[in-house]
Structure 1
Amino acid sequence: MPDATQRMKSDAEPPIPLNPDEEALVRSLSRVIYSLPRALDADMTHEQRLPLIEYQALMNLSEAPDRRLRMSDLAAACDMSLSGMTGVARRLEDQGFIRRVKSEQDGRGWNAVLTDAGLSRLEGAWPTHLASVRRRFLDHLEGLDLKTLGAVFRTVAT
């Protein structure tokens, strides 16, 4: 008797091939997923000497209550591993942009706290980030329903 996986495969409808427009969209999306963050990072690094991931960490901290996030939450907000975020946090701490403090809730975890210098650095870098996002992405979406597109992106991401 076939197992459940084999039954699902045999009972399922055959996949519907992509039409040319769908194929072009999927291929373009794959390129955007990799090229857009690299381009934004290049702009931020060149113009601000602030890598995109460091900007994103500062941004997420600026939006958090008391400008403070548990390191694991900051890592998740930046789509990074905790070990990767630890390296980013170390660099930001060395520059005086954040402080890492023991968690008051359990004493085991660490929180990242945005300093006044970090907020100032973020505010100074924001115009470059905004201009880059507009030039590299948003300007190419003129005339599209951005509210619907955003909803689709959120659905796909989850």
Structure 2
Amino acid sequence: MSDVKWLAADEQVAWRNYLRGSARLNAQIGNDLFEVHRLPLNKYEVLVRLSESEGWTMRMSDLADDLVHSRSRLTRTVASLEEEGLVVREACSGDGRGRNCRMTERGFELLKSLAPDHVDSVRRHLVDKIGREDLLTLGRIMDRLLDED
């Protein structure tokens, strides 16, 4: 254990603040969305990613990677969205093994009705508290972490 480069006291505080802050932020935004619209944040994020994709469609494996979800977690989420008529799963053209997830018109209409409340929640719980410049700095920092993949 002598080779371990332990966190200094201030680094440990920063690390734990990051963990607690990100968990609290996700909970607050998720609770706001669920209280008003009865849709969990993970389902909302699937619809958002699909809305930003050509033809409102993404390969399931790419969607899981983009959301940083396990394949099994995404499969359960998409199955629930499919039961609600918000998405459909289809075979990938040219690849019989792959599956695509496509948002339906009903899913898009729901997303349009949810988006203003979601953005308001993000603004209240994050942007208004830390300010635009710190938000942009945070975005750059998190982007560096994503570059490790």
State if a TM-score over 0.5 links the two structures: yes
TM-score of the pair, normalised by structure 2: 0.87
Q: Partner of 2:20 in structure 1?
A: 31
Following superposition, the deviation at residue 148 of structure 1 comes to: 2.9
Following superposition, the deviation at residue 55 of structure 1 comes to: 0.3
Cα 1:17–1:80, aligned 2, differ >3 Å: closer, same or farther?
closer
Distance in 2, matches of 1:64 and 1:17, equals 41
Q: Partner of 1:3 in structure 2?
A: none
Cα 1:33–1:143, aligned 2, differ >3 Å: closer, same or farther?
closer
SS at match of 2:93: coil
What fraction of aligned residue pairs are identical, expressed as a percent? Answer: 32
Describe the superposition over 1:23-68 as per-residue Cα deviations: whole angstroms up to 9, x where unpaired: 4322211102222212211111111111100000000000011111
Q: How does 1:4-153 map to 2 (within 5 A)?
A: 9=3, 15=5, 18=8, 20=10, 22-142=11-131, 144-153=133-142
Distance in 1, matches of 2:133 and 2:100, equals 40
Q: Greater shift after overlay, 92-101 or 147-156?
A: 147-156
5+ residue gaps, structure 1, are 1-8
For residue 146 of structure 1, what is the amino acid of its counterpart? L
Q: CA RMSD in A?
A: 2.1
Distance in 1, matches of 2:90 and 2:132, equals 46
Query: How many correspondences in the alignment?
Result: 146
Q: Which has the larger radius of gyration?
A: 1
5+ residue gaps, structure 2, are none
CA contact (8 A) 1:48 1:128 kept: no
